[in-house]
Amino acid sequence: MRTGHLTRRTSIPFTDIRSKSTFRPSPMPTASQLRLDQVPSAAPPSSAADPGSPRPPAADPGPRRGAEEWRRLAAAYAVTRREEGDVGATWIDRTTRYLERTPELLVKVGLPPGLRPPELSAAHLHALRDGLGWERASLAHYFSGLRPFLRWLHLPLAEDRRAWRLPSGEAAHRRWLDRDQLLRLFAAAREGERVVIALEGFNGLRRVEVRRLRVQDIDLGGHRARVCGKGRNGGKWRTIPLTAPAEAALREWMDATHVTEGHVVRRKASGIDAMLSRAARRAGLTVRVSNHDLRRTFGRLAYHSGMSLVDLRNLLGHSSVDLTAHYVGIHEEEMREGLQRFERELGLSGERPRAGPPDVPIHLLEAPHVPRVRTRSVDPKGLPEEVRDSLALGEERQGAP
C-alpha cells in the first residue's frame, strides 16, 4: 500500500484518511488538503519538434479541478461510510453518484463551473432546488446524501436548517395515459413487455413489485397474486386479485418461457425501462411513458370506473387514502361535485353563486354569499334525543345577534 492513497480497491489520492479504529471525524480539512494543487498532473506534450510554433492557449483548469475534487472526496466519503457500517451499500452507491454529478448539476442551473465543496452556500442550494425541476421526493433523496457529506467535511452550511428547506405542496409533474393510449401501448407490446404493461397498467403494480413477483406467488386458479411491496429488504406483503389482461399475459409468458419457479420477469430495473420504451415507440406514443405513469394511469381509470378510494388504496398498497387521491388526481371540481351530492342526500343543498374560474387566485375572488342552513328545514322527528338537543342549540346560536 502506498502512503497517502486510499485502500479498498481504489488508488485515488487523498490526504485526509480517517482513523480505522475509532472512526472519529477528523478536523476541518485545510485549503491545501481540499485542493488538488499538490496532486501531480500529466506533463503537457513537448513542443521540441517545432520550438518556434505558437502554443495554444491553456484551458482553464478550474472546472476540471472542481469536478476532480468532488469525485475524490466522494470516494473518500464512501470508504468512511462503509467502514462505519451505519448505512447500506445501496445508499452509499446512490449518494456517490449524486455527489459526482453535483458539478454538472450546478452548471445546469446556471452557476459558474468549478465550484468546490467548501464554496457551496445557501444560494447555491436554492438554485439547485428551484432550477432542477425535480419533484420534492427526488430533491429529498439528493439532499439526504449531500448534507451528511458536507457535515463530514465540517462545513457550517450543513447545519443551516433554512438552507435545506424543501418546497411544500403536491407534485406538479404527475402524468397519466388516457384509455386509448394504454390500449395502444398494450397492443404494441411483445413477449415480456406485455407482462410488465399488464401488471402495471391493468393491476397497478410498482416496477419493484413486478421484479419481485415469483411463480409461487401467483394463483392463476384463484385469480390472485401475493405481492411484495417496496422497501430495501422487502416491503409488506398483500394479496390482490388479478385482472383478466394481467392473468392472460402471465399465463402466456410462463407457458412460452417454461418458467416453473423463481421470478417471473428476470430483468433489472433498467431492463424493464428499456422494454417499456421500446413498446411506447412501437405504439407511436409521443409522450414519455414511465413505469409509475402506468401505475397512476391504472389508479385514475379504476377510480373513474367506479372503484372506491378505499378499495383502490388496498389494491395499490398505499399507506393512506390521501396518497391514493393524489395518485388518481382528484381535482377541486370533482370534490365539489361530491360535496353537492352529499348536500342533496341530507337535504341541505341551497342556491349559491357559481364558483370562479380555476385560474383566478382564490384571494381575488369575491366571497360568495352562502345562505344560512336553518335547522328547522331538517325534520327532527325520528332523530335521537342528543341530536335534537344539538339542533336546538344551533338554532339559538344562529338567532343570537
Residue 298 lies in a domain: yes
Same domain for 203 and 291? yes
Per 3-state DSSP, what percentage of the chain is helix, strand, and coil (rounded to 5)? 50, 5, 45
Same domain for 202 and 300? yes
Same domain for 194 and 257? yes
Total domains present in the chain = 2
Nearest to 27 by CA among 16, 37, 36, 35: 16
Same domain for 125 and 8? yes
User: What is the C-alpha separation between 290 and 299, in angstroms, rounded?
Assistant: 15
Last residue of a domain, one of 305, 321, 352: 305
Residue 240 lies in a domain: yes
Q: Which residue has the higher pLDDT, 54 or 105?
A: 105
Nearest to 319 by CA among 236, 195, 206: 236
**pLDDT of the residue at 165:** 86
Query: Which residues, 6 or more positions from 159, have their beta carbon under 8 angstroms from its beta carbon?
Result: 151
Give DSSP secondary structure letters for 64-91. Answer: HHHHHHHHHHHHHHHHHHHHHTSS-HHH
pLDDT in tens, 326-363: 888 876 667 777 788 888 888 776 555 555 444 444 34
Q: Which domain holds residue 127?
A: 1-20+61-173
Determine which of 154-163, 202-211, 387-396 has the lowest per-residue pLDDT on average. Answer: 387-396
User: What is the C-alpha separation between 148 and 91, in angstroms, rounded?
Assistant: 12
pTM of the model: 0.51
Q: Are 139 and 292 in contact (CB under 8 A)?
A: no
**pLDDT of the residue at 82:** 87
Last residue of a domain, one of 280, 305, 330: 305
Same domain for 192 and 150? no
Last residue of a domain, one of 268, 283, 305: 305
